[in-house]
Chain A
Amino acid sequence: MSPLLELHGVEKSFGAVQVLRGVDLSVQAGRVTALVGDNGAGKSTLVKGMAGIHLFDAGDYLFEGEPVKVTNPKDAAALGIEVVYQDLALCDNLDVVHNMFLGREMKRLRLVDEDTMEQRARETLDGLSVRTLKSVRTPVASLSGGQRQTVAIARAVLWNSKLVILDEPTAALGVAQTEQVLRLVRRLADRGLGVLLISHNLNDVFEVADDIAVLYLGGMVGQIDAASTTRERVVQAITTGVVPEGGAA
């Protein structure tokens, strides 16, 4: 089966600084691919390029096997690529339903169709087996960090998206909430979505990821099958840029 998303030889420079040097990456539907790397390795730039915020200077961008042009966030959304940023981009003063439909409100007779929106929000949350949110009419301000992350992820899958990119989803969470969010990430992949998880936390990565892609100084060290490698090997790859023997997929 061809990968959901493929990048070949992607390059990106900001002025004289070359941030990405010929990066290859593939994300399969139904699998969680973790993107790891030290600070400055180019993770954010790579994600922003995929989301259409930056344009890649060179390289191929394939989605569902077809070459695509992603020049702005709308292009990415049209393909079914949704990004959940680290700051979540939620409006505290609005409730869960309004946040999930922010900017894409459903309308009936030119008025906001609260009924259908609430139904679909509830269905999406139920579909993800989210039980931590009692009322979808609660303002986001009164939700915990884990619940906010849940709302942001649910918003990303509401629009029949095919690939969800998560930027450090557990960075600000406690142990129990991290666990909840990781279970949710796993369920996304089990539902057949492609998931790209950017994380610093190797515990999280090993708990949930199927593939681990390691970036080192703007180059892809390799994409490793999580089951056949160890934490030590991944750490070595992140810090030295070389995959130890037997680890590469």
Chain B
Amino acid sequence: MSIDTDDPTVAAAPDPEPDNSLGGIFRAYLAKLRGGEVGSLPAVLGLIALVVVFSSLRPEQFTNSFNFANLIGQSAGVTVLAMGLVFVLLLGEIDLSAGFAGGTCAGVLGVFLTRQEWPLIPALLAALLTGALIGLLIGLLVARLGIPSFVVTLAAFLGLQGVLLTMIGEGGTIPIRNDFINGLNNANLPVWLGWALGLLCIVGYAASTYITDARRRAKNLTVQPLLLWALKTGLLTVVVVAVVGYLSVERSRNPALTSLKGVPVSLVVIVGLLILLTFTLTRTAWGRHVYAVGGNAEAARRAGINVFRVRLSCFILCSTMAAVAGIMIASRTNSVNPNTGGETTLLYAVGAAVIGGTSLFGGKGRVIDAVIGGTVVAVIDNGMGLLDQPQGTVWMVTGLVLLVAASVDALSRRRASATGHV
């Protein structure tokens, strides 16, 4: 083996025996951080800091399990919206209309379900299809005509706001009386089912990653140390047990009247979408192509990737996810009004994706970023509310956090290119 004099910063992988001890793993992680690959770490640290601050200031109200479950329900709409936005942000594009696209789809659901008295499934499909159609239209305008996505989606934002208002009527509200829809963001799983699903997550993750690692180790390919696998699995186990355990506690103020316990259905929706979308993005060729187009569209084109189709599909996916988000928001309030998906919904969702570590420059981001960032945004909103802070202060703090997150992105990017020896 000749000695490499070319680039000393490239992380060592299989050739020389990698350092698989705890210290070695820690040092490798530090090296990654120094190289500018910070991932979701700032968001996670920020989340911990926020939770500590709010818990110490309002120990009674913030940390009780009622508020914890409440927080998940509050954040569900924004988080789901942010998950869809990640795909558009990965391309280096933006979708400002996603919030009202969600509202419009929820409006469609309300019109068919309540006013037309359609059965659930066709009404639900109509809502999702509306989302896909909005995405198709935006995608065609951006990817085919080459209009900047900022302008197209700004126009769609204004237009869809009007569509929603016209559909529902000035000052009107469409109530939703379907138990399934209302249950999505209000009901809880039975305690046993929450534990069963939590256990399934842990075992599923542990087994699938272990089998993959073992196969790769047998083929002598790059693989994470066994200890790192154990650490990750352990961390996941702790988080899942803590969350499910806390949510399984009785949180009703008057348990004799109504019992409130178990994992909220909204959390299952979020985790389910997280797993599905992460799998699509990391394991399919389409997912690789999304990253490629976001990283270097010209290189992707020359490599034979259909850049147009990739762009179009991301916009369709984003708006379809917006439809799901709109339904989650409508479910929360059991109704649709002309402001569903409006106000700060979209801005919080973009903020959530960026705070979680998705880059606005494209090519960098994961679906879980949206979940972590969405939680940060929800904790600020919820915690500041408990501190009896006026809405003005809440928005100022949220803005500040978003600014810090965007700065971290820009700085780590600079760091990455500075250490890149280009």
* Contact of B60 with A by CB under 8 A: no
* Contact of A175 with B by CB under 8 A: no
**Contacts known (A91-B295, A112-B283); A119 close to B221, Cβ less than 8 A:** yes
Instruction: For A103, give the chain B residue with the smallest CB separation.
Output: B303
CA A85 – CA B287 in complex, angstroms? 25
Question: Does the CB pair B292–A143 fall under 8 Å?
Answer: no
Contact of B305 among A85, A103, A112, A142 (CB under 8 A): A103
Contact of B303 among A104, A119, A143, A148 (CB under 8 A): A104
Q: For B295, what are the chain A residues with a Cβ–Cβ distance below 8 Å?
A: 91-94
Q: For A107, what are the chain B residues with a Cβ–Cβ distance below 8 Å?
A: 285
Q: For B15, what are the chain A residues with a Cβ–Cβ distance below 8 Å?
A: 134
Binds A, one of B97-105, B375-383, B413-421: B413-421
Q: B409: shortest Cβ distance to chain A, in Å?
A: 13
**Contacts known (A74-B304, A92-B363); A134 close to B11, Cβ less than 8 A:** yes
Q: A118: shortest Cβ distance to chain B, in Å?
A: 5
**Contacts known (A105-B285, A110-B284, A143-B421); A138 close to B10, Cβ less than 8 A:** yes
**Contacts known (A93-B294, A115-B219, A131-B2); A103 close to B300, Cβ less than 8 A:** yes
- Listed by A's residue number, 5 A-B pairs whose Cβ atoms lie within 8 Å are A89-B296, A91-B291, A91-B296, A110-B284, A112-B285
Question: Does the CB pair B363–A91 fall under 8 Å?
Answer: yes
Question: Does the CB pair B7–A143 fall under 8 Å?
Answer: yes
Question: Does the CB pair B10–A133 fall under 8 Å?
Answer: yes
Q: B214: shortest Cβ distance to chain A, in Å?
A: 12
* Contact of A80 with B by CB under 8 A: no
* Contact of B179 with A by CB under 8 A: no
Chain A contact residues, majority secondary structure: loop
**Contacts known (A132-B6, A134-B13, A144-B6); A89 close to B298, Cβ less than 8 A:** yes
Q: B300: shortest Cβ distance to chain A, in Å?
A: 7
Q: For A144, what are the chain B residues with a Cβ–Cβ distance below 8 Å?
A: 6-7, 421-422
**Contacts known (A89-B296, A112-B284, A141-B417); A135 close to B302, Cβ less than 8 A:** no
Question: Does the CB pair B284–A90 fall under 8 Å?
Answer: no
Q: For A146, what are the chain B residues with a Cβ–Cβ distance below 8 Å?
A: 6
Q: A127: shortest Cβ distance to chain B, in Å?
A: 16
CA A131 – CA B7 in complex, angstroms? 11
Question: Does the CB pair A89–B303 fall under 8 Å?
Answer: yes
CA A91 – CA B289 in complex, angstroms? 10
* Contact of A180 with B by CB under 8 A: yes
Instruction: For B35, give the chain A residue with the smallest CB separation.
Output: A142
Taken residue by residue from 95 to 120, chain A's Cβ proximity to chain B (1 for < 8 Å, 0 otherwise) reads as 00010001111010011100100110
Question: Does the CB pair A93–B364 fall under 8 Å?
Answer: yes
CA A111 – CA B282 in complex, angstroms? 9
* Contact of A22 with B by CB under 8 A: no
Interface residues of B in 40-77 (CB under 8 A from A): none
Chain B positions within 8 Å of A, measured between CB atoms, are: 1-2, 4-7, 9-15, 35, 215-216, 219, 221-222, 283-285, 287-289, 291-292, 294-296, 298-300, 302-305, 363-364, 416-417, 419-422
Question: Does the CB pair A112–B288 fall under 8 Å?
Answer: yes
Q: B308: shortest Cβ distance to chain A, in Å?
A: 14
Contact of A90 among B9, B296, B416 (CB under 8 A): B296
Contact of B221 among A88, A118, A148, A176 (CB under 8 A): A118
Q: For B216, what are the chain A residues with a Cβ–Cβ distance below 8 Å?
A: 115
CA A103 – CA B35 in complex, angstroms? 28
CA A90 – CA B300 in complex, angstroms? 8
Q: B27: shortest Cβ distance to chain A, in Å?
A: 16
* Contact of A241 with B by CB under 8 A: no
CA A92 – CA B215 in complex, angstroms? 28
Contact of A131 among B1, B11, B219, B221 (CB under 8 A): B1
Contact of A177 among B6, B13, B287, B419 (CB under 8 A): B6
Question: Does the CB pair B288–A105 fall under 8 Å?
Answer: yes
Question: Does the CB pair B420–A94 fall under 8 Å?
Answer: no
Question: Does the CB pair B11–A135 fall under 8 Å?
Answer: yes
Question: Does the CB pair B304–A103 fall under 8 Å?
Answer: yes
CA A115 – CA B77 in complex, angstroms? 37
Q: Which one of B1, B6, B216 has the highest number of Cβ atoms from chain A below 10 Å of its Cβ?
A: B6
A-B pairs with lowest CB-CB distance, top 4 = A135-B13, A103-B303, A91-B295, A93-B295
Q: For A136, what are the chain B residues with a Cβ–Cβ distance below 8 Å?
A: 13, 222
* Contact of A9 with B by CB under 8 A: no
* Contact of A59 with B by CB under 8 A: no
Q: A99: shortest Cβ distance to chain B, in Å?
A: 8
Question: Does the CB pair A135–B421 fall under 8 Å?
Answer: no
Given A89-B303, A133-B10, A141-B420, output 5 extra A-B contacts at Cβ < 8 Å: A92-B296, A105-B285, A131-B2, A138-B10, A141-B416
Taken residue by residue from 211 to 238, chain A's Cβ proximity to chain B (1 for < 8 Å, 0 otherwise) reads as 0000000000000000000000000000
CA A180 – CA B2 in complex, angstroms? 13
Q: For B9, what are the chain A residues with a Cβ–Cβ distance below 8 Å?
A: 142
Q: For A247, what are the chain B residues with a Cβ–Cβ distance below 8 Å?
A: none
Q: For B284, what are the chain A residues with a Cβ–Cβ distance below 8 Å?
A: 110-112
Q: B62: shortest Cβ distance to chain A, in Å?
A: 38
CA A103 – CA B297 in complex, angstroms? 12
* Contact of A147 with B by CB under 8 A: yes
Question: Does the CB pair A142–B421 fall under 8 Å?
Answer: yes
CA A118 – CA B215 in complex, angstroms? 13
Question: Does the CB pair A102–B303 fall under 8 Å?
Answer: yes
Contact of A115 among B5, B221, B417 (CB under 8 A): B221
Q: For A177, what are the chain B residues with a Cβ–Cβ distance below 8 Å?
A: 6
CA A180 – CA B35 in complex, angstroms? 25
CA A73 – CA B304 in complex, angstroms? 9
* Contact of A137 with B by CB under 8 A: yes
CA A154 – CA B416 in complex, angstroms? 24
Question: Does the CB pair B302–A134 fall under 8 Å?
Answer: no
Q: For A134, what are the chain B residues with a Cβ–Cβ distance below 8 Å?
A: 4, 10-13, 15
